[in-house]
Structure 1
Amino acid sequence: MEAGSLSLRCTGMKSLKVPKCSSGPIEASVKFMGSRNSMNSIKSRRKVYCVLTNSSQKIVSAPIVKKTEYKDNWIEKMAINYLCHCVQESTGISTDMVGYEGLIDVISKVSQSFSPVVQRELISHALHQAVPDFILAFARVILRPSKSTSQYFAASTPILFKWLVGDCEVRQTENVDGSKEKTTVYLKKCRILESSNCVGVCTNQCKIPSQRFIGQYLGTPMTLTPNFDDMSCEIVFGKIPPPIEEDPAFRQPCYNLCKLKKPHTDNCAELKTTP
């Protein structure tokens, strides 16, 4: 979003003033499309066509849309509570809430209590703790790094982890040689990012721990690329992630409406390599 002023101009009508939003004003112009003879029909349908023009300093705002509603079944609730328990065991932080709200409450407290580098280590440990070592060892033997393994991980993600990340779908990845593989998972709106509304939670407690877990314990590189404009995300299996120092996600300021903004800095994902 861009800072500026908001004005609505409609042909044949007075200018409309719109209150400024908390994330900063916007500059826009609104006009009816069509001839003078079609004005009555346009008014009767109550349709207004808007043209937005941006200017001035860039600011970051979370998309203002209706929050996604989830109806977790009993199996998904068990998975959510189990992961929440593992995070509590690894971090020493507890919550009185249950379900997904409880998970978000815990990771929010983790974000407030620890530096970014410690957050990454704690959540990585929680993910490791969630899966028994013998299963990880077996998976490394069966799922050796290959194109077919990357496709398997991509195909299984929407089935096994929809409860954690929200609706997602498998997409094709085009390689340098022009070949295509179904190794990309597209998250339409990440449930973790939408629920926490915090860039730092995304980068330090989801992106880095997930990349490390899949890469180190399952042997397949994975790159997670969030889109903070619409809260979508792309997960590409078989792709080596960039170093944290070169990752654009860690230069992203947090949302103006970040739920955790008061107890920490605007840059929730601030890059630190020491506790």
Structure 2
Amino acid sequence: MSLFRRKMVASIGHDSEAQGYDAIVDLTRSLNTMSEYPRDTQEQTRRILLSLFPAWLPPAFKVMFSKPLPALSCRLNAWVTMLTCQWLMGPCKVNDVDLGNGTVATGQGVLVERCRYLEETGCASVCLNSCKVPTQEFFDKDMGLPLTMTPNYEDFSCQFSFGLSPRPQTKDDAFHTPCFAQCPIKRKHSAKELCPGAELV
């Protein structure tokens, strides 16, 4: 959490007066209101994710693992995600993934039972622009692994499916969901049905 906070502060340019997880939520909301363009938020978040790793690691992983051993790499990343990200997302468990072609990939998924990040930020556009899109792009472009994240805005669960390429945004239901009534960003922009940044890009 401390490392993630330091990287967010370095990217955003200021810290939060809050402590612990509340500071992460506060900084995330700041990140999502810095630009009116969702793409800017997505790219900035991806840079934050990259900054958490040594510069050599993602390209090395892509060459040494993702390309020659894609299934093993998907299972490895599922386990690493489950073991290292529960502080951010809440309880998780590794599960199987339906790749949509009649194949079920064993152990290539992670089910977040109730995403703490989504629940605490209370905003669908934060989920999309500071989590789903940049994380999918980080794994696909930087780690060499397709990833589809499927948030459920009714029960706050989220399914990570490694090895499954995401659908186009125009066909992804997550991008057509009005934000929550309690969303703090929406309350500041009540004239919009969707949060700023929730629109398709």
Q: TM-score, normalised by structure 1?
A: 0.66
3-state SS, counterpart of residue 209 of structure 1: helix
Question: Which residue matches 1:266?
Answer: 193
Deviation at 1:232, TM superposition (A): 0.3
Q: Which residue of 2 aligns with 1:203?
A: 128
Which residue identity is paired with 1:219? G
Q: CA deviation at 1:127?
A: 1.0
Structure 1 residue identity aligned to 2:96: Q
The yes-or-no answer on 1:163 pairing with 2:87 is yes
Q: 1:177 to 1:100 in 2, by over 3 A?
A: same
Q: Does 1:102 align with 2:23?
A: yes
2:39 counterpart residue number? 117
Deviation string, structure 1 residues 167-218 (Cα, Å, up to 9, x no partner): 0101112343354422111000011101111111101100001001111111
Say yes or no: does 1:241 pair with 2:166: yes
Q: Is 1:140 matched with 2:62?
A: yes
Specify every segment of 5 or more residues in structure 2 that has no aligned partner in the other structure, as ranges: none
Query: Do the aligned residues in 1 keep the contact of 2:123 with 2:179 (CA within 8 Å)?
Result: yes
Residues 1:82 and 2:3 are matched in the alignment: yes
Amino acid at match of 1:246: K
1:246 Cα deviation after fit: 2.4
Q: What amino acid is aligned across from residue 251 of structure 1 in structure 2? A: H
4+ residue runs of structure 1 moved beyond 4 angstroms? none
Tell me the residue number matched to 1:227. Answer: 152
Contact 1:245 1:271 in 2 (8 A): no
The one of 116, 126, 130 aligned to 2:52: 130
For the 8 Å contact 1:112–1:263, the answer to whether it is kept is no
Q: Return 258-267 or 95-104, whichever deviates more.
A: 258-267
Cα deviation 1:230-254 (Å, max 9, x = unaligned):
0000000001111223221111001
Q: Is the 8 A contact 2:128 2:198 kept in 1?
A: no
Query: How many angstroms apart in 1 are the aligned matches of 2:198 and 2:89?
Result: 23
Q: Distance in 2 between matches of 1:178 and 1:103?
A: 38
- CA spacing shift, 1:242–1:99, aligned 2, 3 Å: same
Give the 3 Å change call, closer, same or farther, for CA 93–117 of structure 1 in structure 2.
farther
SS in 2 for 1:261: helix
Quick check: 2:175–2:200 contact (8 Å CA) kept in 1? no
Higher mean C-alpha displacement, 111-120 vs 247-256? 111-120
TM-score by length of 2: 0.89
| Higher relative contact order, chain-length normalized (CA < 8 Å, sep 6+) | 2
Higher mean C-alpha deviation, range 257-266 or range 222-231? 257-266
Give the % identical residues: 27
Match of 1:153 among 73, 77, 81: 77
Structure 1 or 2, whichever has the larger Rg, is 1
Per-residue deviation at 1:262? 2.1
